[in-house]
Amino acid sequence: MSSLLVAAIGIIIFILGYRFYSKFVAEKIYQLDPNYVTPAHQYKDGVDFVPTNKYVVWGHHFTSVAGAAPILGPAIAVYWGWLPAFLWVVLGTVFAAGVHDFGTLVLSVRNKGQSIGTLAHRLIGKKAKLLFLFIILILVLMINAVFAWVISNLFISYPASVIPVFIQIPLAIWIGYAVYKGKTKMLLPSIIALVVMYGVAILSSNIDFLQIDVVSYFGGEGAAGLFGMGAVSSAFLIWIVILMVYVYIASTLPVWKLLQPRDYINSHQLVVGMAILYLGLLFTNPEVTAPAASAASDVSWFPLLFITVACGAISGFHGLVSSGTSSKQLNKETDARFVGYFGAVGEGALALVSILAVITLFPSAGDFTAAYSSFAQANATGLGNFIEGASQLANGLAIPPGIATTIVSIIVVSFAATTLDTSVRLMRYIIAELGVEYKIPALSRMHVATSIAVILSAVLVLLPEGSKGFGSGGYLLWPLFGTSNQLLAGISLLLISIWLKRQGRNFLVTLIPMVFLLIMTLLAMFNQVLFQWSWFGSDANMLLFVLGAVIFVFAVWIIITAISTLTKNDIRSPE
């Protein structure tokens, strides 16, 4: 089957979803009012509340939510064949993610631009806010661990990407200072930075000593490394420690010094990356070689598929961005449809191209099945397959294979690194907030909170043992990341439903995706916790068992809260 056809079908469904479904939701359910005075106007302060052009808000919203996660999830989920992953990405985006991102934006706009956490407090009660904080805490902890593993893994697999990625740091600091001092606009310097990075990537792909290959420094895969461990385990340890030291510094600096300038460069990378992939697809039109549905599965697709695709279809993290920054910048309430819903569509398009890159990589269905021989194997190699597939598409644009691989891995590492920075920073805020809530003032100190965040994340990523030994098992946490992210989306959908109910409107549009998400989460966790990770399960693992059990309890808690709040007949309205 032609990959262009698959892409076209997906994109047409996205367009139809935006054109018709989001219009229906905007007019009949959320009832957007072009004359409503948005928080950006009402509380205009030139800092947080700034009325902004809808295309600009969309661009910022999309670049904030798009990252490595929507690439990684689908690249693993094609394990069950491309059709299930494709269907969930497309339908999930149209019916769940779009409504969720759009809804959190509207809910926040209608409530003074408050964040989801504050709204949970107001709409349900104080306990809901704590529940919310704990779920975000687990989510960011998973993000830290998974992405630290992703980056280390890519550095080990693609040593040519190390120097270009690290060069981004001084470049970003330089841009940050230049712009802060008001000497220059950011567009030109950030493009120069990108050119420098890719220039170095071309050099490092061709010159051996510019490739920081830690494993080979120990003498190859079989050689002994540090503390009696193998070379690969030692390489993981070294990279994870370096990354943790780096995120400690990065997440305690003011955002304009490093994080934001890196975001500009990454925005270019997102544009470049998506352009390369879709153009490559257009020019080469490769055949889809992967099977539509894979029968040889050691783990059933139901319900794990929905958890594995994760951000590719729906992500609770978007609600944090919608209600955190975008809602404070919306010029007109009717812009919410474009920013929220179309933002989700953009993310869906990224997930779609990730699927396409992987399913056109292999020469035959047999090779695909060999590469995705088990679920653990899919988890461990999914991202690598995406990089190979993406560089094969880039090859269609006459970019040499070695360089294309390096550039694609730089793009993925950059996204993952920014996500890591942001989520360590978020974790610090949450720990501080919990410190205030439980009256432990020491926790609200920046360095105490950051140390706790970094140490916990390092421990979590180092504990699970993968096929390559110590530190290589970070991918085992991916399903847990997926579930906690979906739980967060579940809470946001619950809040929108409660709000709609109190307005006397039809809330099935948000309730159905919520019930679906929560049931999938519960089933997946129940299966994995009991039959896989518990002491009598197939691969017993105390750490995953405890984490999974905690997430399971949270899911049950949300459902109980949902039932009790939605069946209560109060007329209290937040507006």
Partner 1 sequence: MRDKLKTLIQWYDEMLSLPHRSEVARELRDEDDLFMLLLYSEMVGIPNPVYYYTLELYPYMLEKFHDWHLRMGMEKSPLDGIRCC
Residue 340 CB, nearest approach to partner 1 (Å): 16
* Interaction between residue 47 and partner 1 (CB under 8 A): yes
* Interaction between residue 465 and partner 1 (CB under 8 A): no
Q: Are 460 and 476 in contact (CB under 8 A)?
A: no
Binding segment (CB under 8 A) for partner 1, from list 263-271, 331-339, 461-469, 525-533: 263-271
Tokens of 156: 């080990």
* Interaction between residue 203 and partner 1 (CB under 8 A): no
* Interaction between residue 264 and partner 1 (CB under 8 A): yes
The only residue of 41, 44, 52, 397 in contact with partner 1, by rule CB under 8 A: 52
* Interaction between residue 329 and partner 1 (CB under 8 A): yes
Site for partner 1 in 90-119 (CB under 8 A): none
Distance CA 403, CA 348 (A): 27
E-state strands within 306-368: none
Site for partner 1 in 27-46 (CB under 8 A): 46
DSSP, collapsed to helix, strand or coil, labels residue 287 as strand
Residues that bind partner 1 (rule: CB under 8 A) add up to a total of 27
Binding segment (CB under 8 A) for partner 1, from list 47-55, 159-167, 313-321, 559-567: 47-55
* Interaction between residue 183 and partner 1 (CB under 8 A): no
Tokens of 523: 């089933």
Distance CA 486, CA 518 (A): 8
The only residue of 50, 274, 448, 530 in contact with partner 1, by rule CB under 8 A: 50
Residue 407 CB, nearest approach to partner 1 (Å): 21
Tell me the sheet residues that pair with 330: 52
Q: Are 116 and 34 in contact (CB under 8 A)?
A: no
Q: Which of 321, 304, 310, 305 is nearest to 492 (CA)?
A: 321
Residue 51 CB, nearest approach to partner 1 (Å): 12
Residue 172 CB, nearest approach to partner 1 (Å): 12
* Interaction between residue 325 and partner 1 (CB under 8 A): yes
* Interaction between residue 327 and partner 1 (CB under 8 A): no
Q: Which of 224, 484, 273, 257 is nearest to 391 (CA)?
A: 273
The only residue of 48, 122, 274, 444 in contact with partner 1, by rule CB under 8 A: 48
Fill in the amino acid letter for 32: L
* DSSP H or E run through 205: helix 187-206
Q: Which of 209, 207, 203, 202 is nearest to 403 (CA)?
A: 202
* Interaction between residue 179 and partner 1 (CB under 8 A): yes
Residue 46 CB, nearest approach to partner 1 (Å): 5
Q: Which of 130, 558, 64, 571 is nearest to 311 (CA)?
A: 64
Specify the residue, 414 or 561, whose C-beta has the smaller distance to partner 1.
414
* Interaction between residue 561 and partner 1 (CB under 8 A): no
The only residue of 20, 43, 177, 256 in contact with partner 1, by rule CB under 8 A: 256
Binding segment (CB under 8 A) for partner 1, from list 86-94, 254-262, 427-435, 557-565: 254-262
Specify the residue, 259 or 524, whose C-beta has the smaller distance to partner 1.
259
Distance CA 86, CA 312 (A): 10
Distance CA 331, CA 39 (A): 9
DSSP, collapsed to helix, strand or coil, labels residue 141 as helix
Distance CA 49, CA 322 (A): 13
Torsion-angle region of 250 (φ positive above 0: left; ψ -120 to 50: alpha; else: beta): alpha
Specify the residue, 156 or 258, whose C-beta has the smaller distance to partner 1.
258
Preceding amide of 286 cis, omega within 30: no
* Interaction between residue 186 and partner 1 (CB under 8 A): yes
Specify the residue, 77 or 321, whose C-beta has the smaller distance to partner 1.
321
Residue 298 CB, nearest approach to partner 1 (Å): 44
Distance CA 414, CA 390 (A): 16
The only residue of 222, 254, 366, 401 in contact with partner 1, by rule CB under 8 A: 254
Interacting residues toward partner 1 by CB under 8 A: 46-48, 50, 52-53, 55-57, 59-60, 63, 179-180, 185-187, 190, 254-256, 260, 263-264, 267, 325, 329
